[in-house]
Every structure is written in C-alpha cells, then in structure tokens.
Structure 1
Amino acid sequence: MVIPAFVLASTSPARLRLLESAGIEPIVCRSDFDESQVQLSDPDELVKTLAECKAKAVIEKFSPTPTTGALTEETPKRSPLLILGCDSVLVLDGEIHGKPEDPQEAIARWQKMRGSFGDLYTGHALLDLAQDRAIVRTAITRVYFANIGDRQIEAYVATGEPLRCAGCFAIDGRGGLFVEKLEGCHTNVIGLSLPLLRQIIDDLGYDVTEFWSLPH
C-alpha cells in the first residue's frame, strides 16, 4: 500500500505542534469553511460535522483545475492524501461554547467555569482520498477548573490566550495553571487526540509509524 501524504486542514499552531511531536510533519492547508453554516444542538454531531466539512473544504486545493487539468501550486509531489480536519467545543452545564467573541465574554465564561468542570469535545475527520473513505469520530475529555478569583481571571483574559481557544483556555499555556485535573485524553484538550488519531489511521489500514519520516 502506498503511504499517502498527510494534510492538516487547519492553521492551528497547537494541532501542528502535536502532530510534529508525534513524528508527523503534515502539509498545512488552511480550511476556509464557514462554520456558521452548521447549527446543531448535539455537541458530538456538531464537532464531527464541522471537522468533516473543514477537511472536505481543502480537497479542491489538491485537485486538477477544471479547465486545464493542471495541478494547483499547493499540490504536493507525493500523493494520494490523508486529510485531517478537527473542531473543538466546550460544554458547560449542557451549553455549547466555542471561542469567546471578546474579553467580556471570556471573563463571564471563566466566572462560570471556575470551581466547576466542562467537557471538551473534539471531532476528528480523516479523509483517505486513495480509498475514498472517511472516518469521523469524537474524543471527549472532562476538565476540572480551579476556583480562581476575579483578579486572576481578568489577568488571564488580558493575555489574549483565552480568546484563541474554544475552551477559553490553553492547557499547554498559561491556562494550564488553572486546570486542576483531566479525565480522558490530555492531548485532546490541546487540539486533537493522538491516541484516537492512531486508531483511525489503523482502521484505514495504515501503520502510524510509517508516517514518521514521510517526505512531502
């Protein structure tokens, strides 16, 4: 079996770092999918749908153009492709939260989160273009937050870090100071579950170690 090139349909630095730490150096391709198109009340279905839509949105960037049949400039020399799309949300008391829109929302979110817990859902969609297969699954991690005061909340939000994260915190950054414990996969909270990714790759018939030194 030909080992495909690995594409990350995201410009998330955290997801890229996770893959690189696991020995996978992906081709990074921004997905411009409009998330507002998807309105679902079930967090599991929401993150799976968004992850798959994000992955599918980059396929055309690696396809021949309809007029000339020429490959686009982003096309890697190695093909076929595996395309990974991901999406995360935090569920607090049954309410779904994505990235806070502004500092005021982030402060209010943390005032609700502190001393409590939330469930971080991350959808993983891996498209195998060679086999015309897609596997879409969700990892869920329960996050317990420290009971911090308003001053620390405001100081943390002032750093800007919570505004860049669906959960309103980055456990691999300053936010790690305010997380008491996790139940479930810790890399899932950073951006993607490496154990789940390995399982999906296995189910597609590949060995994850074959991606460790794959040239583009």
Structure 2
Amino acid sequence: MQKQGAATIILASTSPRRKELLEAIGLPFTVIASNVDETVPPEMQPDQVVEYLALKKAREVAGKNDFGLVIGSDTIVFLDGEILGKPRDEEHAFAMLQSLQGRQHTVYSGVAVVEADTGRTEVSHSAAKVNIRPMTDREIRAYIATGEPMDKAGSYAIQGIGSTIVEGIVGDYFAVVGLPLHLTARLLARFGVSLL
C-alpha cells in the first residue's frame, strides 16, 4: 500500500518511455504495474478504446492503494479501420510495418487520472497523424532485427531508430511516444497538481 504523502503520483505502467517522459518534466512518482485484461468491446472507436483502457489500468492500480493520484495510459496505432497493437512475433511486426510504409496512419493515446481514496476520475485522449516513408522489405527486416519494434504499438518507436522511418507528424508528438504530456498536466491540474 502507498502511504499518504503530498500529491503522491503513481504511474500504472512499466513502460520505459512513459517513465522517462514523467522524469523529464520533473514529476516525482512511483511505478506500479497494472494487470488488466485489455479486451475491449468491438463497437468502440479508437479514441474510446484508449480512454477505456487507460481508465481501466488506472482504476486497477488505484484499487490497491489508499492514497495517491494514479496515471493510466494506453496507445494504439489506427490504419484502414483496424487497430494495430503490439506485434505477436517478427512476422506480425513485418506485416504491420509493410502496411504502414509509404502511408499515413493515426496514433491515439489515452490518459486517465484516478484519485485512489475518492475514486474520482479524469480521462481524455490525444492523437497525431504520422507518415512513414516507403521502405523495402530488406529495410523492414533490418529494423525488426534491432528488436525495437517488438513491444511497440504499430511495431515502431518514433523516439528510437524508428525516427529514421518517420517522414512527418501532425499533432501531438508525445501521443506517439505513449504519454501526451500537455494532457497529463491538464488532468493533474484538475486535482490541484501544478507542474509550473
């Protein structure tokens, strides 16, 4: 159990990227991994999916703690009416990258903040359109061989080696990394936590 402290912040994610982003803005926090079933109702739209899962993750961790503000987040890649999550294996990663190359897709990131002692919630999402440059099968295989795509939605990381395949982005860069910071700050502010 977390002990009560001044604005105790808990990140309900073990994602190194989300952890790095919160550290970069100087927000003190602890990490407690969420363990939820990420199945979603089939009729949900992409923006609803990320909000639903972010809230589910935050609520699960909040339920184990007496105090604190729990931040949950979820990110998906959306192309041709289909949600592209993390690849199951290298062939799945190859298929995803092949479908993304030379085209534009949309990345959605949901953020939820849950106050553990009251159950109060705030949730929203941010999005960005990303253009991936045309790639040969050899380039796709070489990128997969780096190992970077294997735990990323859509099989690429915009902040890693994957930055070399991104031609352009319109919207929230941090939504693509996995935690929209302006949105996180806005939701935290509703609980009286100011970053500035």
TM-score, length-scaled by structure 1? 0.84
Identity %: 38
What are the Cα deviations for residues 13-53 of structure 1, in whole angstroms up to 9, with x where unaligned? 000000000111310001011113x2334111111111111
Secondary structure at 2:13 match in 1? coil
Are the counterparts in 2 of residues 3 and 206 from structure 1 also a CA contact under 8 Å?
A: no
Q: Verify the 8 A CA contact 1:31 1:55 in the aligned structure 2.
A: yes
Residues 123 and 136 in structure 1, CA contact (< 8 A), matched pair in contact too: yes
| Contact 1:6 1:82 (C-alpha < 8 Å) held by counterparts | yes
Show structure 1 runs of 5+ residues with no match.
64-79, 210-216
Question: Would you say the 8 A contact 2:128–2:173 is kept in 1?
Answer: yes
Residues 38-74 of structure 1 show CA distances to partners (whole Å, capped at 9, x for unaligned) of 23341111111111110111123324xxxxxxxxxxx
Alpha-carbon distance in 2 for matches of 1:161, 1:132: 36
Structure 1 counterpart SS, 2:73: strand
Name the SS for the 1:122 alignment partner. Answer: strand
Question: Does the 8 Å CA contact 2:97/2:154 hold for their aligned counterparts?
Answer: no
Q: Greater CA radius of gyration, 1 or 2?
A: 1
C-alpha separation in 1, matches of 2:6 and 2:115: 11
4+ long deviations beyond 6 Å: none
CA distance in 2, matches of 1:61, 1:206: 22
The reply to whether residue 128 of structure 1 matches residue 119 of structure 2 is: no
Rounded Cα–Cα distance in structure 2 between residues aligned with 1:194 and 1:106 = 27
| Distance (whole Å) between structure 2 residues aligned to residue 130 and residue 54 of structure 1 | 16
Q: Which amino acid aligns with 2:62?
A: I
Question: Does the CA contact (< 8 Å) of 2:96 and 2:154 recur in 1?
Answer: no
Q: Secondary structure at the match of 2:63?
A: helix
CA RMSD of aligned residues (A): 1.5
Structure-2 separation of matches of 1:155 and 1:132: 46
The two structures have a TM-score, normalised by structure 2, of: 0.92
Paired residue type of 2:112 = A
